[in-house]
Amino acid sequence: MHKVSEIDHLEELLSNLEVMPDAMCVSELDGYVAGLLLCPEMIMPSEWLPEVWGLDSEPEFENMEQAQATIGAVMAHYNRVAENLAGRNKPYEIVLEQAEGEGEPFWEFWIAGFEQAMRLRPEAWRAYFDADDTKVKAAFSCMCGLLEMERGESSLPQDRQDELREHACKLIPEMVARMNNWVKSQAPVPMGAAPDWFSAANSNAVPARSNKVGRCEPCPCGSGRKYKRCCGAN
């Protein structure tokens, strides 16, 4: 179970990385970690940690104390999510961003982190489309459908997009649990050519349901996307 104090501490550490403005927010990290753990191929921390900081090179912390505290908190969260997913049929606990005093949480941050994990091993994820279990295929297709919606590239009818958007916060934990139960029962998949899992996503999607703008806050333009992936990218 995620302890509120631990999540708040992690969020504070990540938000204080002023020298690394593209570092992930806590919800994005949560989706990223879930993607790492659901990937049919193991990915070592030496490969995935740099993505957390949004850098192609070694991170630059202000001092050793900040480095140890931040890296330790990130790894602790990875271990918490891994422990959560290790319990078969145990509900997956998602961490979502939420604007103060405003309605539903923002699932877009989480799904953006999940996508970033997928990009580390795009060829491995074809195992979900090749699965004999149609429910697993549908779960993965639903995830990919949300990815395309987050990027503003979905070809789904608008009413289907509205339905998925409305129920995304409930759908994501269900899809993670379904994919997790399946992938834990599988042998590692062979390496191969990267599939076009984004374009295939829509075919079987499950019907369901500060004054300064922070890099992971909702974009003020009203798009529903995070600022750094919308107006902040210009």
CATH of the domain at 57: 1.20.120.740
- pLDDT exceeds cutoff 70 at 224: no
- pLDDT exceeds cutoff 90 at 75: yes
- Structural domain of residue 69, as residue ranges? 4-233
* Cβ-Cβ contacts under 8 Å for 214 (sequence gap 6 or more): 15, 25, 227
Tell me if the pTM is above 0.85.
Answer: no
Q: What pLDDT score does 59 carry? A: 78
| Confidence band for 203, pLDDT divided at 50, 70 and 90 | very low
Domain count, the chain: 1
Provide the terminal-to-terminal Cα distance of the chain, rounded to the nearest Å. 38
